[in-house]
Amino acid sequence: MTAVAKTPVAARPAASSVKIRTQSEEAWRRFRRHTTAMIGLVVLVFLIAAVMLGPLIYTASPLKSNFAVANAPMFGKFIFGTDDLGRDMLARIFFGGRISIAVGLFAMSVSIIIGTLVGAFAGFAGGWTDFILSRITDLFQSLPAVPVLLLVTYLFRDEAKKVLGRELGIFFLIVGVIGALTWMTTARLVRGSFLSLKSREFVEAAHALGVSRLGIMFRHILPNALGPIIVAATLNVGGAIITESVLSFLGVGFEADWPTWGSLVFSYKDYIGINNQAVLLPAFGIFITVLAVNYMGEGLRDAFDPRRGR
Amino acid sequence: MATYFLRKVLYAIPSLLGISFIIFAILSLAPGDPLAEFGANPEVPAEVRENIKKSLGLDQPWPVRYVKWLGALSQGEFGFSFAARRPVTDLLAQRLPQTMMVVGIAYLIALVIAIPVGVLSAARPKSAASHIVSLITMVGISLPTFLTGLILILVFSVELGILPMIYDTNIKLDSLDGWGKQIKQSLMPIAVLALFNAGAMTRFVRSAMLENLPMDYVRTARAKGLTEWSVIIKHALRNSLIPVVTLIAINLPGVFTGAIITEQIFRVNGIGELLVTSVQKSDTPVVMAIVFIYAALVVASQLIADVVYGVLDPRIKFA
């Protein structure tokens, strides 16, 4: 099992010469030493800051077209050039990045919440609850993800638009569907951690003190199972960004006037050879984000599980 | 062994039933009408519409239709395509070979790259070459396949002009020239899929090897005076291959669904392209058949992985 039980600080031998670190301090220390993971973190923070703050400084409209400057090259009058309608590519990349990264973060949250709840109840309750929840997990694991995603988003997009409005409808539909189809790995990890942690002494102590079952699950066991959950969450962000771009690429994602990096690639893909920066820049945005996230995930995995060799 | 296998098969059947039921329910409960095409046409009178609906069996409640669909499936039938007005099996027979060829070759190439590269980079984990391998494979798994595809098109079709941008499906394979063209146009789709899978597999081989190399049995083999080569190949690799083989089986459906995107980029008329167009045309029987095939592939590869794991690892008891 990967999780290491957190010993209460007070229970440790009080040696004044030894600096006492909590488990998370220890993990952060190991993460910092992981060069590529730190680079990933810096790149990711930079990208998020850029897409959030960029439009405040660079105020060109991502939607205003001007045929006089269509397909302008990079580093001329426009830093990233323009697209086939003369729209500013840098502004479009900023707005697309906001939505792509937001999809990644929201879909990850949905997936982690479902996965943690299912895994926690299955591992803690055991018996029939475990059997049924595990079979449901298996069933979802066997669903072919991309085809089902394609199908559900295509079939339910009009309905979602009606209920939540044109943009929010698609956003929540995509986020929800990606989350609902990717929680299984987290559920299995959490179930495993809960199975091994629930018979530990600190859980018994909490029982003896009269802590409720939910209190034991979420206040006492969950903090000790966080390591693998954080790793899964990190990798999920990258996966969700790719999945959204795949949906956009297949033409069932966001509408063309609400750019994400994926939908930008999709709408410019036929301009390859004519306007390369328009199609390649958003694709590189996805690539750099996912690469940074994957390196961070690797660093976190090593940080939370020091026994894992590199 | 036989009972172990039988038990795994018995587990697989209900999960296939469950999956097909879920997909059928999604398709039936979704808003939207597969006959909307006729509905929009004012020249089609309402009763004709009703008759078409009846002749296609769409007037019955969906659980009844699901049972009928299952019945037909047990006869090897997937129903009748609304759009192509032909049996779904005909369409599948037309499309499957393209996908199978591209996916199969790509997966083989990925394997041929992954095993030696993974083993060598694990044998010298601190070397520069090993670091480069780990960088390249990380880039490989982070590159979206559409970006690899677009870059290849830009380099080989637009700039160099040596490979065709669009897959031509009408090439006759009766002459050497035809074969040459077929191979040429398959190069880029295969390369995209092979690169992506080689990255993931190399990382997996490498980490399986790294887990085994510090083990006591490896030290014992070294202590006996075996050559380094034989320690790595005959001892460490053999044990590392157990998880790798199961991964190869489990990942196979992912390669097929990954091919949906490559087929879209290069316009290969494979099964993934058929799925995308059928979804857009609301051609429910075709969609149902293809998604079911993907699901069957997932379940079958999990079954194969379980069985292979059982055969390779003597610690698994067949009780």
Q: Please, which residues bridge with residue A82 across strands?
A: A88
Q: What is the pLDDT of residues A224-264, one digit of tens each?
A: 888 888 888 888 888 898 888 888 888 887 776 778 888 88
Q: How far apart are the first and last CA of chain A?
A: 18
Predicted TM-score of the model (pTM)? 0.83
Q: List, as ranges, residues 174-203 from A with C-beta within 8 Å of B.
A: none
B31·A158 Cβ contact <8 A: yes
pLDDT at A72: 66
Q: Count CB neighbours of B112 within 10 A.
A: 12
Nearest CB among B142, B265, B276 relative to A291 is that of B142
- Give the structural domain span for A202: 30-58+86-309
Looking at residue A310, its pLDDT comes to 42
Q: Give Dmax over CA atoms of chain A in angstroms.
A: 76
pLDDT over threshold 70, residue A270 = yes
pLDDT for A22 beyond 90: no
What's the pLDDT band for A309 if we cut at 50, 70, 90? very low
Measured CA distances, B273 to B10, B168, B221, B264, B306 (Å): 33, 14, 52, 6, 31
First to last CA, chain B: 8
Residue type, A275: N
Is the minimum CB–CB distance between A291 and chain B shorter than 8 Å? yes
CA–CA separation, B37 vs A287, rounded Å?
39
Among B61, B62, B50, B81, residue whose Cα is nearest residue B20: B62
The answer to whether A156 contacts B30, with C-beta atoms less than 8 Å apart, is yes
Nearest CA in chain B to A282: B147
The answer to whether position A2 is within a domain reads: no
DSSP character at residue A212: -
The answer to whether the Cβ–Cβ distance between B295 and A142 falls below 8 Å is yes
Task: Look at A265 and B295 and tell me if their CB atoms are within 8 Å.
Answer: no
User: Quick check: B129 and A272 in contact, CB under 8 A?
Assistant: no
Q: Look at residue A164 and tell me if it is in a domain.
A: yes
Closest Cα in chain B, distance from residue A102 (Å): 18
Q: Give B144 to chain A, closest Cα distance, Å.
A: 7
CB contact, 8 Å: A242 with chain B? yes
The number of distinct structural domains making up chain A is 1
d(CA B183, CA A22): 59
Report the alpha-carbon distance of residue A181 to residue A154 in Å, rounded: 15
Better pLDDT: A100 or A84: A100
A20 located within any domain: no
Look at A185-189, A190-194, B36-40, B125-129 and tell me which has the smallest mean pLDDT: B36-40
**CATH code (residue A191):** 1.10.3720.10
Question: Is A68 part of a structural domain of the chain?
Answer: no
Say yes or no for a CB contact (<8 Å) between A145 and B257. yes
Task: For residue A179, tell me if it sits in a domain.
Answer: yes
pLDDT given for residue A2 in this prediction: 45
pLDDT of residue A189 exceeding 50: yes
What is the tens place of the pLDDT at every residue in A30-55?
888 888 888 888 988 988 888 888 77
Give the separation between CA B7 and CA B307, rounded to whole angstroms: 11
Distance, C-alpha A115 to centroid of its chain: 13
pLDDT tens over chain B, length 319 residues: 677 778 878 878 888 888 888 888 888 877 666 666 555 666 667 777 677 667 666 667 778 888 888 887 877 777 777 777 788 888 888 888 888 888 889 889 998 998 889 888 888 878 888 888 888 888 888 888 888 888 888 888 887 877 777 777 777 777 777 777 778 888 888 888 888 888 888 888 888 888 888 888 888 888 888 888 888 888 888 888 888 888 888 888 888 888 888 888 888 888 888 888 888 887 888 888 888 888 888 888 888 888 887 777 777 665 4
Residues 6+ apart with CB under 8 A from A245: A100, A253, A260, A261, A262, A265, A286, B144, B146
Q: Do A265 and B147 touch (CB under 8 A)?
A: yes
In a domain, residue A50? The reply is yes
Residues whose CB is less than 8 angstroms from the CB of residue A133 and which lie 6 or more positions away in sequence, other chains included: A118, A121, A122, A187, A191
Taking residues A176-198, report their average pLDDT.
89
**Model ipTM value:** 0.81
Decide if A142 and B15 are in contact by the 8 Å CB cutoff. Answer: yes
A237/A107 Cα distance (integer angstroms)? 7
Say if A90 falls within a structural domain.
yes
Chain B residues touching A249 at Cβ < 8 A:
146, 261, 264
Is there a domain that residue A8 lies in?
no
Residue A147 to chain B, least CA–CA distance (Å): 6
